[in-house]
Amino acid sequence: MATAHQKLAVVIVLVSLGGTLWSAYSAYHARLSGRLIFLTWTAVAAIGVQALIGVILTVSGSRPVDALHFVFGPATLLALPVSERAARDREPRRAALILGAGWFLTLVLSLRAAGSGGGLT
């Protein structure tokens, strides 16, 4: 189970990097794709699965290297939904910038969560 948690962390970091770049591209071209919104909610679901695995690991006695993991993990789960909600009903460039900020925050938080959990291996 710990291996699945680590491997999913790598996927989340890479998808967050992709979402950040895609959002920047969308902002530059002033258009927001429905596919980017779909990717956003798919990533939220993956982060939710990651959180569920983390809860199972914690309940079974496996602890992260640093207790701050319990701060960075949940914060990662909130960044994209909050930014997606803030981006709704905005003009495309502004919406893409707001969503991009959420993706970038997710990238930073997921990297920090991986580091406080024991690292990306």
- Give the span between the Cα atoms of 14 and 12, in whole angstroms: 5
Please name the residues in contact with 13: beta carbons below 8 A apart, sequence gap of 6 or more: 107, 110, 111, 114, 120
| Confidence at residue 63, expressed as pLDDT on a 0 to 100 scale | 86
CA distance 23 to 56: 33
Domain count, the chain: 1
> What is the separation, in whole angstroms, between the first and last Cα of the chain?
14
What radius of gyration, in Å, describes the C-alpha atoms of the chain? 15
pLDDT tens, the chain, 121 aa long: 778 999 999 999 999 999 999 999 999 999 999 999 999 999 999 999 999 999 999 999 988 888 899 999 999 999 999 999 999 999 999 999 999 999 999 999 999 999 888 765 5
Q: 43: helix, coil or strand? A: helix
Do 31 and 83 touch, CB atoms closer than 8 A? no
Can you give the pTM of this predicted structure? Answer: 0.91
Domain coverage including residue 46: 2-117
What does the pLDDT read at residue 2?
Answer: 77
5's tokens:
């948690």
Distance CA 74, CA 113 (A): 9
The pLDDT value given to residue 62: 87
Query: Which amino acid, residue 25?
Result: Y
